A = this chain, B = another copy of it.
Amino acid sequence: MTASPALSRPRGTRDFAPEEMERRRAAEAVLRATADRFGYREVATPTFEHLELFTEKSGAGVVQQLYHFKDKGGRDLTLRPELTAPVLRYYFAELTARPKPLKLYYLGNCFRYEEPQSGRYREFWQFGTELIGPTTSEAAAETVALAHACLAGMGLRGLELRVGHIGVLKSVAKALGMEDRDRQQLFALVDKREVAAKEPEARAILSKYAPSASVEPWLALLRDLGTEEATRERVLADHGAVIAAQPELQKAFDVLGETLQLLQALDVRGFREDLGVVRGLDYYTGVVFEFHSPDLGAESQVCGGGVYNLAELFGAEPVGSTGFAIGFDRALLALQNAGGALPAREGIAAYIVPIGIPARAKALEVTTSLRAAGLRVDVDLMRRGPSKCLDYANSIGARHAVLLGSKELERGVATVKDLRSGAQKEVALAELATALGARP
């Protein structure tokens, strides 16, 4: 009776019980309906892709965690770690002729080989959107508003929304001509709010690129960008001289300001301007944002997104693109931790109990006609006695039991037992569907 370990579930994956699937499908329905109201339509792409799709523009962290394999033709394939690159691949291959804006959403599973921990699995689900065409602040603001509506619709409360512009940090790196590795290292310090704590490390990186006189002004700017209190006004006031020389930095500040203003029109409240938002993927170029839940631990992020550019990867002309992804499992976990999980659905309307062998075929007939009337109905398939059948009907939460004995059947009636109140009554078979709640 002991199973081989190899017949267990693979590490870091999950099986989903009926109750859990009902909650997940209900949450999915909310997300679909919300995207739908915003004029988005669903697309889907394959579960595996050519490896190259993810090794070019994704962050190093993603690439190290790929489930990579060769198919029998020797091609390098990988289970998808995220869905933006696949959806954009599909767009550039087949959808470029569609009218813009093109509003696409997806809901699919992704895979990362990482150590399993609370809320992090090797197979996980993402719901996300891609808005292709516009490059306006309205596009960025509406994307934030949609993410907000999706999370609120799922029932998440007390979320922290941080909105920034990746162009602020990128223009610093560009002005200094920094190499990728140094840039990533420096940005990681800003992202973790560690520039002040690890000042020597940050100074050493900057010293490789900036003339010695300007190292300290850059360092001061980066230290401030990575603080909770940094706003455009304050940073501009404190670092005017450095910023004045960087038109791209100034433009990033302007676009972010306009976007934040439009968020008010879109009824998104309580967001926080955050000039130190970095995002894990290299392809972001403009406004970026993250939602964090108070109901998760240190890994509090449930959604992230922004304005990005993936056109170069496909050898295509740039096209405006803005999107986000919600960590579906993490969002559900936050909901559960907050005690706000969607309720499981009701049990079936009736359990049909044939009494004695001759009633069996008739019970199947009655069951079939009730199902045809749209009712959720089940019937004894185990040839159990009435008392065991009633136990079972109660155990699965059936609303009624319908007892069919030979004598009743001769008279064209059945006994209907209300399993909550225990009340019993005779009902004509012709009236049975209505008595059990079928809509006429």
Contacts and interface: CB of A to CB of B under 8 A. Distances in A.
Given A42-B21, A381-B138, A37 B375 contact: yes
Interface in A33-78: 36-39, 41-53, 67-73, 75-77
Interface string A352-374: 00000000111011011001101
Contacts of A67: 48, 69, 71
A104 interface: yes
Contact of A361 (B49, B262, B316, B381): B262
B376 A1 contact: no
A103 interface: yes
A139 interface: yes
A22 B4 contact: no
A38 B396 CA distance: 13
Nearest to A34: B371
A13 to B, nearest CB: 4
Interface in A134-180: 134, 136, 138-139, 141-142, 145, 149
How often does this chain occur in the complex, in copies? 2
A136 B42 contact: no
A42 B71 contact: no
Contacts of A262: 360-361, 364
Contact of A382 (B100, B149, B315, B377): B100
Interface stretch (A86-94, A204-212, A329-337): A86-94
A288 interface: no
23 contacts: A3-B92, A7-B52, A9-B89, A10-B49, A14-B46, A15-B44, A15-B46, A15-B90, A39-B378, A47-B47, A48-B67, A67-B69, A71-B113, A100-B392, A138-B364, A138-B381, A142-B364, A262-B360, A262-B364, A265-B364, A265-B368, A266-B364, A267-B368
B361 A48 contact: no
A407 interface: no
Contacts of A53: 6-7
A50 B364 contact: no
A18 B41 contact: yes
B382 A9 contact: no
Contacts of A16: 43-45
A294 interface: no
Most B Cβ at <10 Å: residue of A92, A101, A371, A374: A371
B13 A381 contact: no
A25 interface: yes
A434 interface: no
Given A49-B10, A50-B10, A141 B364 contact: yes
Nearest to A44: B16
Contact of A9 (B93, B139, B374): B93
B47 A138 contact: no
A339 B134 CA distance: 37
Contact of A7 (B2, B8, B100, B314): B314
B3 A381 contact: no
A17 interface: yes
A364 B141 CA distance: 9
